[in-house]
Amino acid sequence: MGFAFRKKKDMPSGLWTKCPACGKMVYRKQVQERLGVCPECEFHDKITGRKRVDITLDAESFTPFGEEYRPWDVLEFNTTESYEDKIAKAQKKTGLSEAALVGRGTIKGIRAIIGVLDFKFFGGSMGQVVGERITEAVECALAEKLPLVVFSASGGARMQEGALSLMQMAKTSAAIARLRDDPNCPYISVLTNPTTGGVTASFAALGDFILAEPGALIGFAGPRVIQTTLRTDLPEGFQTAEFLLEHGFIDRIVPREKMRDEVATILEFCLQ
């Protein structure tokens, strides 16, 4: 008597992904439904700038500006690959022209200027164009009497642009200082994982309200650099959002799925 065996079905690829924090295999669709948050450990993974806009603003309300500012190899920076080639690759990979995406939109019906940094574009690093776009976002908020919301995700300044990238710290900080005089322009800064370097030391730290996602790495220099320089052990959880909340650097930690509601609530309070 023969036996009939059912043919084993192939498992479709891409159904599962490994959480970079807890290392567990999680269902990719479930992670996507939770906006990039691990269902096992609540790790908030990086998301693209366009995704951030989609989950924050009202549908089809976003109108970008600042696209006339484009990166160029002003220093003719070359290593094994030219800066121009790296820019082209980053643009193709992300579909963005630069790491900063800025524009107008509404959040639960409230008009606002929004800026987001995309970590997939040169690690969200701040160069001349990022500085120019963030500054233009500030100036638009002032001119149109609108609140400003900026989501940071950055590895720091753009080394391929040298001192020109560091100058953006002063440029963006000076622009934001002008917001202080206008009660119609509250500035909400949202720190996501990671927010480091010159971005932390400039516009990301200057919000009237500073929010952060859970577990976000926030700091200027990296923990290893600080530990080596100071030659001392750092506190547990150093440079995490939770540590900074405890020490008064940020105002609140907000899970990603609640961030849109939280931002809208703050804006309603400020503008009433």
End-to-end CA distance of the chain: 82
Distance separating alpha carbons of residues 130 and 181, to the nearest angstrom:
24
Distance separating alpha carbons of residues 216 and 192, to the nearest angstrom:
5
Q: Which residue has the higher pLDDT, 257 or 2?
A: 257
Confidence category of residue 88, pLDDT binned at 50, 70, 90: very high
Confidence category of residue 178, pLDDT binned at 50, 70, 90: very high
Q: What is 209-262 written as a DSSP string?
A: EEEE-TT-BB-SS-HHHHHHHHTSPPPTTTTBHHHHHHTTS-SEE--HHHHHHH
pLDDT of residue 226: 85
pLDDT of residue 150: 98
Reported in sequence order, the residue ranges of the chain that DSSP labels E, i.e. its strands, are: 16-18, 25-27, 63-65, 100-107, 110-117, 148-154, 187-195, 209-212, 252-253
Taking residues 133-156, what's their average pLDDT? 97
Taking residues 84-111, what's their average pLDDT? 97
Q: Match 């900063």 to its residue by tokens.
A: 100
In the three-class reduction of DSSP (H, G, I as helix; E, B as strand; rest coil), residue 188 is classed as strand
Confidence category of residue 185, pLDDT binned at 50, 70, 90: very high
Confidence category of residue 7, pLDDT binned at 50, 70, 90: low
pLDDT of residue 6: 62
Structure token pair of residue 27: 């269902």
Structure token pair of residue 23: 């290392």
pLDDT of residue 8: 57
Taking residues 150-154, what's their average pLDDT? 97
Taking residues 4-16, what's their average pLDDT? 67
- The CATH number for 46-271, chosen from 3.40.50.800, 3.30.40.230, 3.90.226.10, 3.40.50.1820, is 3.90.226.10
Distance separating alpha carbons of residues 151 and 130, to the nearest angstrom:
13
Do 128 and 166 touch, CB atoms closer than 8 A? no
Q: Is the pLDDT of residue 3 over 80?
A: no
Structure token pair of residue 97: 């022209």
Distance separating alpha carbons of residues 209 and 187, to the nearest angstrom:
7
What residue spans define the domains of the chain?
15-43, 46-271
* Statement: the pTM of the whole predicted model exceeds 0.75: yes
pLDDT of residue 228: 84
**Mean of per-residue pLDDT scores for the chain:** 93
- pLDDT per residue over 200-253, tens digit each? 999 999 999 999 999 999 999 877 888 888 888 888 888 999 999 999 999 999
- pLDDT per residue over 65-82, tens digit each? 999 999 999 898 878 899
| DSSP structure class, residue 98 | S
Q: Is the pLDDT of residue 47 over 90?
A: yes
